[in-house]
Amino acid sequence: GSCQGNSVERKIYIPLNKTAPCVRLLNATHQIGCQSSISGDTGVIHVVEKEEDLNWVLADGPHPPYMILLDGSLFNRRVMLQLKGTSRVSGLAVTVAKPSPPQGFSPGLKCPNDGFGVYSKDYGPQFAHCNKTVWNPVGSGLSYEDFDFPIFLLEDANETQVIKQCYQDHNVPRDGSGPEYPLCAMQLFSHMHAVTSTVTCMRRSSLQSTFSINPEVVCDPLLDYNVWSTLQPINSSGKVDPEKEVIIVATRIDSHSFFWNIAPGAESAVSSFVTHLAAAEALHKVSDVHLLQRNIMFTFFQGETFDYIGSSRMVYDMEKDKFPLRLDNIHSFVELNQVALRNDSILWMHTDPVSRMNESVEVQVRNLLDILNNSSVGASVTLQEAGYSQPLPPSSFQRFLRARHIPGVVLTDHKTAFQNRYYQSMYDTPENIRMQYPEGLSPEETLEYVTDTAKSLAEVATVVARALYRLAGGANNTSAIQADPKTVSRMLYGFLIKMNNSWFQSIIKPDIKGILGDVPQHYVAVSSPVNTTYLVQYVLANLTGTVVNLTKEECVNPDKTPSSEKEMYEYAWVQGSLDPNSTSRVPYCVRSTVHLSKALSPAFELRQWGSTEYSTWTESRWKEIRARIFLVASKELEIITLVVGIAILIFSLLATYFINAKADVLFSIPRDPGAVAY
């Protein structure tokens, strides 16, 4: 028979395994997020499903502090600030509201990345701090508050049910009076090592590194990599000829929410970068791209949510000659922002009214808008100008404008405020961009199923690809340039529903197949590259690269292959798809122009941790994050148990002492009566 160990701990505690914590982030001046005390915080569980239930926690309940199981629909700024102002709360476990809150929910700021874009007291002061347009009106700023108790998200409905059952069995108030002991309690561990600000925590980490053999780092900068590639190959280790003009197409690939590593970002990031990838594929299929007079650079910025980490770094590198391109090479800039929630298929073109006051910029911007308009003729996407009186929405393009007047346009689905009511929240899910699948499809069928969302994003990609072709000097008819809705469907499925799918498995390197988790999240994090970066890199290589006939050895070490043009191309030996007749894969070599470049804020290169020009966001380190529930006895019983225990201990010590003192009497050997003494 099988032998099963069952420790005392497992008899006492029920661990909660599917949770996501709120962690501490820091910038130059503030700390935001949550933390527990060093040994974890404990409290009696109280379920709050309607606002009246809060009275028990805040005033009436006889057993504070309380751990609140909060219904997702009540997780808002008003309730949270009530809880923040009391010592009767030791922590929160939040459930996911189903369906998503109809009034919208965004814990982000009303004016995202305020102060780090182009508008300031010196440049378009009338547009600074969202004076003209509040982009995210439902933004509550909850993610940017500092809570001194732990807050966890419960991701598993079964675990939520276990907690509610424990509450029902032990904690429900009877006839208005407090419940009897034992009570159901919860303990949350999420102690954070960093405090105050990035300046403080980076200084501490730096001192430790200087003077300690085993330095204890307390925080890490948010960092990752930008992904970029060009339509015509360029020497990635050299410099592009100053006369060569390049059009930059850009999107962000990261998102955020109140909870750590919960960042579905369907509308805020995925809709735009998937459209961008589809446009890149459509352009690479055009036969005369190598003849275009201007090159096109496809750029995917990481860390944009946190004050434009990726774009500010690329601009910095271009200015410091650490990038193949210089700012002088940029002919124009096209950015795809949130594009999935269009009303009447209208896509809005936003431009910068301040730089357009310069006549030469105005002429180029006008040309750009005309080309975009003409490219939408015959497509089911209507392009409209957002207007002169309106500033740019939060966008990577703003960081380039800070450096110089570049003609550019930002494409979005909103004229003024965001259409997205769940910006930077856990509810920015596939449902938010109206992705729907028929019932009963297998994972493979779901991967291939072309949704209406995919068709509409493919239309946007087609218009963008045709406009870019014209902008780059293409003279042929553009009707053949067409984005593939099937590719868009696969990407939406992989980036929003299930990363571990057959297509993603086939296009990545064998040594990184471990990155394919289940539910995709797009948080920038501190360990890089994150899954999103890897996958955007390999999807882009798959869609725009070519399969070359090289052995594994030649592909992994292209330096040894004379014809490889290693400076111009990147090579990747990818897993390939499963052989239909066996369980083995058919790997192959992909040659592409896809590169990674650092997305670490220049503030950390320059050691300017208090910078107001560059992002200074860091993430605190922690030792452990966990949650568990258990039954807790009354204070009286605990004191009685302790006193009885101490009494027994004292009694046993005294007994041992006396027995030891009288040992010669108690344990003397009796004489043998038969023995004769001489």
State residue 673's pLDDT score. 63
Lowest mean pLDDT among 200-204, 219-223, 279-283, 578-582: 578-582
Does 580 score more than 90 pLDDT?
no
State residue 6's pLDDT score. 66
| Residue with the larger pLDDT of the pair 209 and 404 | 404
Least Cα distance to 464 among 451, 477, 478 occurs for 478
Q: Please report, as a single letter, which amino acid is at residue 120.
A: S
Q: Which helix (H) or strand (E) holds 459?
A: helix 452-471
| CATH number for domain 223-545+593-600, candidates 3.40.50, 3.30.70, 3.30.110, 3.40.630 | 3.40.630
Q: By three-state DSSP, how is residue 482 classified?
A: coil
Q: What are the pLDDT digits (tens) for 176-227? A: 678 888 999 999 999 999 999 999 999 999 998 888 888 889 999 999 999 9
Q: Please report, as a single letter, which amino acid is at residue 305.
A: T
Contact 339, 347 (CB under 8 A): yes
Rg of the chain's alpha carbons, rounded to an integer?
Answer: 31
Q: What are the pLDDT digits (tens) for 615-666? A: 999 999 999 999 999 999 888 888 999 999 999 999 999 999 999 888 888 8
Q: By three-state DSSP, how is residue 446 classified?
A: helix
Q: Tell me the three-class secondary structure of 200-248, residue by residue.
A: HHHHHHHHHHHHCCCCCCCEEECEEEEEEEECCCCCCCCCCCCCCCEEE
Q: What are the pLDDT digits (tens) for 129-140? A: 999 999 999 999
Q: What are the pLDDT digits (tens) for 443-468? A: 999 999 999 999 999 999 999 999 99
Contact 441, 365 (CB under 8 A): no
Task: Work out the number of other CB atoms within 10 angstroms of the CB of residue 561.
Answer: 16
From residue 560, alpha-carbon distances to 63, 236, 535, 565 in Å are: 72, 18, 27, 11
Does 342 score more than 60 pLDDT?
yes
Query: For the chain, what are the domain ranges?
Result: 7-191+625-636, 223-545+593-600
* CB neighbour list of residue 171: distance below 8 Å, 6 or more residues apart: 44, 45, 46, 179, 183, 184
pTM (2 d.p.): 0.93
What is the C-alpha separation between 312 and 601, in angstroms, rounded? 7
